[in-house]
Structure 1
Amino acid sequence: MATTSGESTLADNSNRKKNIPIDTDEMVSEKPEEPEFDDAKPAEEADSIQIPENDARLKALEQEAAEKHDRLLRVSAEFENYKKRMNRQMEDLRKYANEALLKDLLYVVDNLERAVSTSTEKTGEPIDSCVLEGVEMTLTEITKLLTRYHVMPIEALGKLFDPAYHEAVMQEASADHPENTVIHVLQKGYLIYDRLLRPSMVVVSKAKS
């Protein structure tokens, strides 16, 4: 089968295109160069901003911790004082719980002492020894009871007048005693532990005019 000259020319051109060598290096697309940034300077600036902020935060936390510690110490001290105060109150309650009763009992002691004192004086009247013995025994037992509850008489006779423990009923001129000396005890005074239960009623000396 015969071919035309035009077809022969097209075939030759096609063969030439197939045989053209391709440079693959030229086909690789080159990536555009990225701009270089100086990362060190922004990091330094960020650090310079962040460090003062951290210092301020740290100081604030330290101050807050110090304030809380101070409050804790104050609360602890107040609680210790409260415990001591409550312990003292409980101790006082235990020691002085019977104070009113014991004070009333002193008047019974006064009457028993007067009875014994009167019976030993020469009144000219017969005294039943059994009655006297009973009164003395009763007085002894009540005195033991008072001692058991730490109630003790105040030694006032011959002492200088002390308004904290003595109640002066009258003054009496005396050349035998210094001024303001207790020369007579009209009624005994008593202490319960170290607290005044009843003052001594006394007569105090004064200088003769």
Structure 2
Amino acid sequence: MQENNLEKENVKEELETSSEIEETTEEVVEDNVTDINDKLEENKLREELEALNDKHQRLQAEYANYRRRTNEEKETIGLFANEKILNDIIPVIDSMERALEACDDKEGSMYQGIDLVYKQLQGILTKYGVEAIEAENADFDPNLHLAVMQESVDGVEANKVVMVLQKGYKLGNKVLRPSMVKVSC
């Protein structure tokens, strides 16, 4: 009987130990599951944060590009807003140049008055960034010159401007009026 009692006690102890092991195992498993869930949540949050940071940086870059483009457009609009009036002033300057050439008395008050107005008009063009296209003895460029005549000239290579018939003007890189020229052939 004593053996039987011993066996029962051993079984009882084993059961208790087994229960303790099960409880400990369950606690460890629960702790591990909690740790894994916390790490998964942490990784998920980190990924979301990285995605939001990336989105924020892209928005900042887009906004910076937008500001740069609008500033460039404003400058361009400002530069070319006066294009129409500048185109209207150019024929007046041509007339003033013809009047200066027609004056015989270069010291007379008429010549000086016309010259003064001519210089004021030139100042207006310069103020707004308009410049004359240099064409005399230059290579013919169809973007800047309008060839209305061709002539074979000794000692001058082909496609050289030999005479400017009417001055051309440009505003920045934009041609307001091409130079009317005679070109060697």
Q: Give the TM-score band, short-chain normalised.
A: 0.7 to 0.9
Give, in whole Å, the separation in 2 of the partners of 1:174 and 1:67: 71
What letter matches 1:82 in structure 2?
Y
Give, in whole Å, the separation in 1 of the partners of 2:115 and 2:25: 109
Identity across matched positions, percent: 34
Q: Secondary structure of 1:176's partner?
A: coil
Alignment deviations for residues 113-162 of structure 1 (CA, whole Å, 9 cap, x no partner): 12222335xxxxx99x4444432232122112222222221111001112
Q: Secondary structure of 2:63's partner?
A: helix
Report the structure, 1 or 2, having the larger helix content: 2
* Deviation (angstroms), 1:176: 2.2
What letter matches 1:162 in structure 2?
D
Is it true that 1:110 corresponds to 2:94 in the alignment?
A: yes
Give, in whole Å, the separation in 1 of the partners of 2:31 and 2:66: 52
Q: Tell me which structure has the larger Cα radius of gyration.
A: 1
Give, in whole Å, the separation in 2 of the partners of 1:65 and 1:166: 60
Residue of structure 2 in register with 1:59 after alignment? 43
* Deviation (angstroms), 1:173: 1.6
What letter matches 2:71 in structure 1?
N
Residue of structure 1 in register with 2:142 after alignment? 163
* Aligned counterpart in structure 2 of residue 152 of structure 1, from 122, 127, 131: 131
Give, in whole Å, the separation in 2 of the partners of 1:40 and 1:90: 74
Alignment deviations for residues 13-72 of structure 1 (CA, whole Å, 9 cap, x no partner): xxxxxxxxxxxxxxxxxxxxxx95423111111123233323322222222111111111
Alignment deviations for residues 93-127 of structure 1 (CA, whole Å, 9 cap, x no partner): 3333212101110001111112222335xxxxx99
Q: Secondary structure of 1:136's partner?
A: helix
* Deviation (angstroms), 1:79: 0.3
* Aligned counterpart in structure 2 of residue 77 of structure 1, from 45, 56, 61: 61
Residue of structure 1 in register with 2:154 after alignment? 175
* Deviation (angstroms), 1:204: 1.4
CA RMSD of aligned residues (A): 2.3
Give, in whole Å, the separation in 1 of the partners of 2:135 and 2:66: 38
Return 5+ residue gaps in structure 1 as ranges: 1-34, 121-125
* Aligned counterpart in structure 1 of residue 26 of structure 2, from 24, 42, 45: 42
Q: Secondary structure of 1:92's partner?
A: helix
Give, in whole Å, the separation in 2 of the partners of 1:44 and 1:147: 85
Residue of structure 2 in register with 1:187 after alignment? 166
Return 5+ residue gaps in structure 2 as ranges: 1-14
Alignment deviations for residues 147-204 of structure 1 (CA, whole Å, 9 cap, x no partner): 2222221111001112222222232222221111111111111122343222211121
TM-score (norm 1): 0.70
